Structure 1
Amino acid sequence: MARFDGYVLRQLLVLLSFFLLVLVGVLWISRSVSLFDKLIGGGQSALVFLEFTALSLPTLIRTVMPMATFGAAVYATNRLSRDSEMTVMLATGASPLRLGRPVLYFGLVAAMMMAVLTTYLRPASIQKLELRQAEVSRDVTAQLLNEGSFMHPASGVTFYIGKIDTDGTLNDVFLSDRRDPAYPITYTGARAFLVRDEARINLVMVQGMALRFDAKGNTLSTTVFDDFSYDISAMAAGRADLARNIRGIPTLELISPAARVQIRDENGYSDGQIAEELHERLAWILICIATPLVGYATLMLGGFSRFGLWPQVLGAFAILLVLEALRGFATPIVTERPQMWWVLYMPSLAGLILAALFLRLAGRPMRLLLHRDRVAA
C-alpha cells in the first residue's frame, strides 16, 4: 500500500504542475496584454514589464491553486478508475477511505505551498509592486518620451510630441496646463529638451509661444519666447498613495494587536477589513486540503459504467462552485462583523465534512445497507 500511495502521490504532483502551468498561463496572458500596453505605451522598458509580471505571479498562483488541486485529484482518480487500477485495489479489500490517504498527503503538500504563498510571498510581492508602481508614476521623463500621441502625465495636463530625434531633441511640442481652472496656460515650441537638475526635471522649449486665458476677465494673452524653462517635476508630486495596501501588509503585523491598532490609525482600515484579510489568508490554506478530497470522494461514489465517471465529475465541479460561492458570501460578513471571522473557514470545513460523508457512503453503499436491512427484517 505504501508503494501505491507513492505512485498516486507522484501522479497528483505531476498533474498539479500541469494544471498550474496551464491556468497561470491563461490568466497571465489575459492580464499581461493591458499591462504591456500601459507600461510600454507609457515609455517604460521591457525589463519593467517583466518585473511587474514576476511580482504578480504569487497572486496568480494563489488564485488558481485550489482549482489546480481539484483538477489534479479528479483527473487522477478518473484515470485510475478507467484503467481499473482503483478497481483492483478495492478488490484486495482496501476501502475508499484508505485509498484516499495519498490524496490527503497531496492536499497537505498543496496547503504548505499555499501557506508560503499567502502568508509571505504574496504580501511581499504586492508591497514591492506598490513601490515600483509609485516609482514608475514618478518617472515623468519616461512617460513624456512617447511621440505621436497625447499623454496625460498628471490630472489637468496634456502633453504632445510630434517627433523625437536620435539625440533626444523633442520637436513640435504642445503642453496644456489646466490645473488652475481660472488661468489655463498652453505652451507650444518648435523644439524642446528635457534637462535634469538634481531632483528637478525641466522642459526647456525653444522658439515657442505661451497662451494664457483669464477666465474671470475672459481675456487671452500671448507671449512669444526664444527659450522657456518649465518645471515638470511637480507633475509627479502627490501621486504616491500614502496609505498602505492591506494586501501587502505582512502577516505578522496583522496578527499583532499593537500593529493592528497602528494599521487602523495610520491607514484608515477598519477592524473588519483587517480581520477579513488575516483570516482569508489562513482560509486559503485549508481550502487546498478540502478541494482535492471533495473531488476524490465524489468520484468514488460512482460504480462501474461504460460511460465512465462523468456524472460524478460534473457533480464534483458543481460542489466546487458551491464552495467558492460560499467563500464569496463569507467575505462581506466578516468585513461588517469582525467577531464572525470563523465564517471564512466554514466552506473549507463543509468540504471536508462532505468528503468524509461521501467516503463513508462509498465504503458502505446504500444498496448494501438496504439489503442488510431486508435480510434482518
Structure 2
Amino acid sequence: MNRLDRYILKIAAVAAIVLLLGLTGVIWVTQALREVDLITGKGQTVLIFLTVTLLSLPALIAGIAPVALFMSTLYTLNRLNGDSELIVMNAAGVAPHRITRPFIALTIATSIVVAWMTISVMPASFRMLRDLITLIRADFVANVVKEGQFVSLDSGVTFHYREKVGDALVGIFMQDRRDPAQPAIYLAERGRTVEAEGQSFLMLEKGTIQREAKNTTTTSIISFERYALNLSALTGDSSGGPGEGDGDKVVYKPRERSTWQLLNQDPNESYYKIQEGRFRAELHNRLSAALYPFAFMLIAFAAIGEARTTRQGRMFAIQSAILIVGATRIAAYAAWTASVRSPFAAALLYILPLAAIVLSAAFILYGERLRPVLARLMAPLTQPLIGLAARFRRA
C-alpha cells in the first residue's frame, strides 16, 4: 500500500470510526432510557442496568457498521473531490477503480467485524441477556414485589401474593395472557424462588392451573401438590418463546443459539418443528450480513467515485446512492421477514447484496459506456422532474 492509499485509508477509517461511535452511542442511549425501569421499578443496581444495556451493543454495531462505512465513503470521496484531489489523480493517470484499494481494505475490516458480531458475539450476548433477565425476574418476584400488590411482570403477565412468611410467598396468584388463545391462571397456597443449574424457578405448592380455550366455554383445571414454574418462560415474547410447560429445561430462541447449533440443529426437536422458519431466517441472516459492507461501499463509490465539477450532478448522485442503499436495506429486511415462511426469500438475503456488488463494480469499471445507456433509460423519469423543477423556479 503506497502513500496515496494510506492517505485515503486514514481519512475513510477515521470518518468510519467516528460515525460508528456516534451513531452507536446515540441509539444506545435511546435504548438505555427504555431500561431505566430496571432501577426505578425493579429495584436493580446501576451495574445490572449497565450490563443489560451494554449487551445490546453487538447487535447495534453489526447493524450500524455497514451504514457508517457507506457514509464515510461518501464523505471521503466528496472531500477529495471538493479539494480537487480526485481531479489531480485523474489527470495523473490514476484510474477510478485504482482508488478503490484503500476502501476495499477498510471494507474487508468492517466485514470481518460484522461477521464476528453476527456469527459469534450477538448470539452469546442475547443468551447472556436472557439468563440475566431471568435472574432479575426471580429477584423481582422474591424481593421487590410488595405484599398485596398486583404487579405486571411482562406484557400480559400479572403477579400477586398475599403475604411473605420467611422466604416463602403465601397466597400466590399469577395471570398469564401472553397467548390470547389460551390464557392461564395460577393459584397456589405458597411458593418460593429457587435456583438449580444456573436457572431460576418459582416452586409452587398446593394449587391449581386454570386454562381456557379461545372461542369456547371449556376451562381445564389442573391440581398439583408441587409445580416448578420456570421463570425464564416469562422472558419469552409472544412470537415464539417457549411456554411454561417446558419443565426444567430452558429452550433458547433461534437468535440466542450459537451459529454452530443452528448449522447442526436437531430436526426432531419439538421447538424446532414449530419454529423451523425462524431458525432458517436467523441462520441465513447471520451468514449474509458480511456481504452488505461491500455492497454499500461499492454503491457509494459507483455514485461519486469519479471527479465531477458540477455540484448539482454530485448532489444528485449522493441522493441516488442514499436511496439505493435505503431500498437495499429495506428489501433485505423484508426478505428476512419473508424467509420465515419461504426458503426462496432466504436466498434473496444473498442475492440482494451480491447484485448490488456486481452492478456497482460494473459501473465503476465500465462507467463511461454504461452512463449514456443509463441516462437514456432514466430520461423518461428525469425529464418530468426537470420540467417540474423549472416550473417552480419560474413561479
TM-score using structure 1 length: 0.72
CA apart distance, 1:60: 1.1
Match of 1:253 in 2: 261
CA apart distance, 1:184: 8.8
Residue 291 of structure 2 is aligned to residue 286 of structure 1: yes
Asked whether the equivalents of residues 40 and 46 of structure 1 are also in contact (C-alpha less than 8 Å), the reply is: no
Q: How does 1:198-277 map to 2 (within 5 A)?
A: 237-241=229-233, 242-256=250-264, 259-261=265-267, 264-277=269-282
CA distance in 2, matches of 1:236, 1:288: 47
Q: How does 1:1-377 map to 2 (within 5 A)?
A: 2-139=2-139, 140-144=141-145, 151-152=151-152, 155-158=157-160, 177=173, 237-241=229-233, 242-256=250-264, 259-261=265-267, 264-300=269-305, 303-306=308-311, 309-338=314-343, 341-362=346-367, 366=371
Asked whether the equivalents of residues 44 and 142 of structure 1 are also in contact (C-alpha less than 8 Å), the reply is: no
> How many equivalent pairs are there?
318
Report which stretch shifted further, 120-129 or 1-10.
Answer: 1-10
CA distance in 2, matches of 1:157, 1:28: 30
Match of 1:227 in 2: none
The 1:121/1:4 distance shift into structure 2, 3 A limit, reads same
CA apart distance, 1:326: 1.7
Asked whether the equivalents of residues 162 and 172 of structure 2 are also in contact (C-alpha less than 8 Å), the reply is: no
CA apart distance, 1:238: 3.1
CA distance in 1, matches of 2:186, 2:296: 61
CA apart distance, 1:176: 8.2
Which segments of 5 or more consecutive residues in structure 2 lack a partner in the other structure?
A: 164-170, 177-183, 204-225, 234-249, 376-395
Asked whether the equivalents of residues 96 and 362 of structure 1 are also in contact (C-alpha less than 8 Å), the reply is: no
CA distance in 1, matches of 2:266, 2:11: 43
CA distance in 2, matches of 1:250, 1:269: 19
CA distance in 1, matches of 2:232, 2:185: 26
CA distance in 2, matches of 1:196, 1:182: 18
Match of 1:170 in 2: none
2:327 maps to amino acid: V
CA distance in 2, matches of 1:184, 1:134: 21
Q: Secondary structure at the match of 2:151?
A: strand
CA apart distance, 1:132: 0.6
Larger radius of gyration: 1
Asked whether the equivalents of residues 87 and 307 of structure 2 are also in contact (C-alpha less than 8 Å), the reply is: no
2:82 maps to amino acid: R
CA distance in 2, matches of 1:322, 1:275: 23
Match of 2:221 in 1: none
CA distance in 2, matches of 1:318, 1:129: 35
CA distance in 2, matches of 1:70, 1:348: 14
CA apart distance, 1:358: 2.4
Larger RCO (CA under 8 A, 6+ residues apart): 1
CA distance in 2, matches of 1:125, 1:89: 46
Which segments of 5 or more consecutive residues in structure 1 lack a partner in the other structure?
A: 162-174, 186-194, 203-233, 371-377
Asked whether the equivalents of residues 278 and 340 of structure 2 are also in contact (C-alpha less than 8 Å), the reply is: yes
Measured against aligned partners, the alpha-carbon deviations of 1:273-329 in whole angstroms (never above 9, x if no partner) come to 222211111111011111111112111256212558322111110110111122123
Q: Secondary structure at the match of 2:55?
A: helix
The 1:23/1:269 distance shift into structure 2, 3 A limit, reads farther
1:43 maps to amino acid: G
Q: Secondary structure at the match of 1:157?
A: strand
Measured against aligned partners, the alpha-carbon deviations of 1:184-233 in whole angstroms (never above 9, x if no partner) come to 99xxxxxxxxx99999999xxxxxxxxxxxxxxxxxxxxxxxxxxxxxxx
Asked whether the equivalents of residues 43 and 144 of structure 1 are also in contact (C-alpha less than 8 Å), the reply is: no
Report which stretch shifted further, 116-125 or 287-296.
Answer: 287-296
Asked whether the equivalents of residues 97 and 363 of structure 1 are also in contact (C-alpha less than 8 Å), the reply is: no
1:72 maps to amino acid: S
CA distance in 1, matches of 2:186, 2:251: 32
Identity rate of aligned residues, in percent?
28
CA apart distance, 1:141: 3.3
CA distance in 2, matches of 1:289, 1:183: 53
CA apart distance, 1:52: 0.7
